[in-house]
């Protein structure tokens, strides 16, 4: 099970690095194995949820409405910050990025009425998947926090 977790962590890291950055520093860190250690505390399901969010960020389509696209860009930044905070176990940044995500999510929901039906449906699918994966990731994180608190 541990080797499965490490393999899954490495796959997530490759996905995150591929979608967010292609810097040589990131590849050097990946080769040294240091990156997989930063995900050691995450459960396999948490890694899957984080990976799904990362993939949704990377594949988010452009729409015909500039206002929607601007808010989506901000939403994607807040999601990237959130994933970084989860990875680094940085609670203040995680909470701030979740608040930012919520703000942009609400703005996008208000702007949906200006989209054509097909674009609205695509946007809705992405937003539901993101929200679901965040909720699942948060639930899995709270389990880890409860376990670590009860063992102290």
pLDDT in tens, the chain (152 residues): 444 444 444 444 444 444 444 333 343 444 434 444 555 678 899 999 999 999 999 999 999 999 999 999 999 999 999 999 999 989 999 999 999 999 999 999 999 999 999 999 999 999 999 999 999 999 998 775 555 555 55
Please check whether residue 21 lies inside any domain of the structure: no
User: Residue 115 falls within a domain, yes or no?
Assistant: yes
Residue 77 lies in a domain: yes
Number of domains in the chain: 1
Query: Do 108 and 72 form a contact (C-beta atoms < 8 A)?
Result: yes
28 inside domain: no
CB proximity list for 80: less than 8 A, separation 6 or greater: 20, 57
Residue 134, in any domain of the structure: yes
Domain span including residue 129: 40-150
- 3-state class of 42 per DSSP? coil
Rounded Cα distance between 148 and 122, Å, is: 39
Model confidence pTM above 0.75: no
**Does residue 75 sit within a domain?**
yes
Q: Is residue 33 part of a domain?
A: no
Residue 8 lies in a domain: no
């Amino acid at each position: 099970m541990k080797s499965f977790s490490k393999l899954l962590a490495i796959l997530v890291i490759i996905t995150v690095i591929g979608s967010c950055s292609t810097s040589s520093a990131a590849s050097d860190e990946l080769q040294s194995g240091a990156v997989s250690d930063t995900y050691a505390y995450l459960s396999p399901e948490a890694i899957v949820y984080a990976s799904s969010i990362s993939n949704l960020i990377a594949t988010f389509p452009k729409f015909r409405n500039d206002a929607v696209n601007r808010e989506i860009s901000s939403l994607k930044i807040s999601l990237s910050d959130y994933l970084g905070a989860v990875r680094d176990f940085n609670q203040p940044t995680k909470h701030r990025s979740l608040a930012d995500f919520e703000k942009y999510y609400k703005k996008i929901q208000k702007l949906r009425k200006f989209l054509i039906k097909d674009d609205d449906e695509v946007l809705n699918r992405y937003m539901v998947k993101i929200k679901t994966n965040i909720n699942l990731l948060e639930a899995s994180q709270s389990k880890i926090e409860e376990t670590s608190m009860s063992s102290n």
